[in-house]
Amino acid sequence: MTTKILLINGPNLNMLGIRKPEIYGTATLAEIEAELISYGDKKGCLVSCFQSNHEGAIIDAIHSAYGKIDGIIINPGAYTHYSYAISDAIESVMIPVVEVHLSDIHNREDFRSKSVIEPVSLCQISGHGKEGYFMALDCLLEYLNRK
């Protein structure tokens, strides 16, 4: 059975490559997604991708993953810092989640240093640029293989 991973990217991540490249890098979201899908294929898993600027749509994607997806990688964007609704959605589906951030949220503005998603995640990967997505996939696959 093929392992199925859902990549969820939150608000403004559709603007990668344009928005603050000195912080978030020059790769576009489409490039990151394509590279992660290819990387996942080499690891024997199927990666599907979803992006939304709307909290409810992200919650719906998490709920829809229940019973269909083995693991979730999420970059919640600014929702990281205050979306208890996304945190509750993650907790409710009981799917392992890895939180990822392109920039190091702990070395930026004070309001960015707290995550309400981290407590319901296996781990948080922050500050490794687009490589963080590959690290997140490796972390999830390692966890799933140990189960």
106 catalytic residue (yes or no): no
Q: At what angle do helices 29-42 and 131-146 cross, to 10 degrees?
A: 30
The active-site residue, picked from 39, 54, 79, 101, is 101
Residue entry with tokens 């909290």: 55
54 catalytic residue (yes or no): no
- State how far Cα 25 lies from the chain centre: 16
Rounded (5°) CA angle 34-58-106: 80
Q: Which amino acid is at 64?
A: S
- State how far Cα 135 lies from the chain centre: 11
Rounded to an integer, what distance in angstroms lies between the CA atom of residue 61 and that of residue 50? 8
Where do runs of H (alpha helix) occur along 15-130?
21-24, 29-42, 55-65, 84-93
Catalytic site residues?
Answer: 24, 101
